[in-house]
Structure formats: C-alpha cells, structure tokens
Amino acid sequence: MRSPAAERRRPTPWDAVVALAVVAFAVVLIFLLRPTQGSAVTAVITLDGETVAQYRLDQLDQPETLTLNEAPYPLTIAIEPGRICIDHSECPSQDCVHTGWISRSGQQIICLPNRLVISLSGSEAEEFDAVTG
C-alpha cells in the first residue's frame, strides 16, 4: 500500500500538458526570433576598446583581409560577403581562430590576449522598440 505522499509525487496528465506547452512555446520562439536572411549585418572590429574597422557584410563584393600588426599578438581577419573570421593569430590560446566563421547578428569573436572583439549587429537592432518619457 502506497502512502498519500507517494501518490502526490506521481506525474499527472496536467504535468504532461504543461510540459508539452513549454516545448511548443520554445519551438515557436525559435522560429520567431531567427534572424531574417539577407538582413544588413555590420561587423564592428574593436581593439583595446577602440573601433578599428566596420564592414557591411551584405555589401561586400569580394573577400578582404585585414591584418592587425598593432595588436599584442598580430592577427589576420578574413572578411567575405556575409561572414567574417579570424584566419590567423599568434595568440597563445587560439580560441579566436577556432571560433570559425560568424555570420548572424549577435554573434561575436573574442580574443582576450589581444583585447579584440568582432561583433555582428543587424540593422533591426538599431531601430527603437519604444519611446518613453
């Protein structure tokens, strides 16, 4: 014979309904929050807190290379239409190189030894959501 406390710990049909609702909500959010293809993505490259370069990745016609010899560990950034990566770096950890290509708004490549950040932002993020006051 089971105790009443043990009976209360068993999953009920309502538990399954709540779990399915949470999963369905998560799936809907994934599709609603996906960035649109072809949106204007800008790559901002900052070294030691100062902006070194900006590229509109959707407007590039041909691949470009940016070499930063002024960084503590020199590095090479590869820029192609729609994507960007750190191609080569002399930093000890190489995490920035292993990050690979990034192409979507909100993604970043960070090289801590060089104090370098490459961040992608879309044109939608620059618009106001609401004005208060």
- Provide the CATH number for the domain around residue 45: 2.60.320.10
3-state secondary structure of 64: strand
Domain-located, residue 27? no
Dig out the tokens for 124 from the structure. Answer: 């939608």
Query: Which residue, among 86, 77, 75, has the nearest Cα to 114 in the 3D structure?
Result: 75
Q: How far is 110 from 99, CA to CA, in rounded Å?
A: 9
Domains in the chain, number: 1
Which amino acid appears at position 84 of this protein? I
Out of 14-28, 29-43, 50-64, 82-96, least confident range? 29-43
pLDDT-based confidence at residue 98 (cuts at 50, 70, 90) = very high
Which residue range forms the structural domain that includes residue 120?
41-126
* Domain assignment present for 4: no
Q: Give the C-alpha separation, 16 to 12, whole Å.
A: 7
Task: Write down the pLDDT at residue 128.
Answer: 52
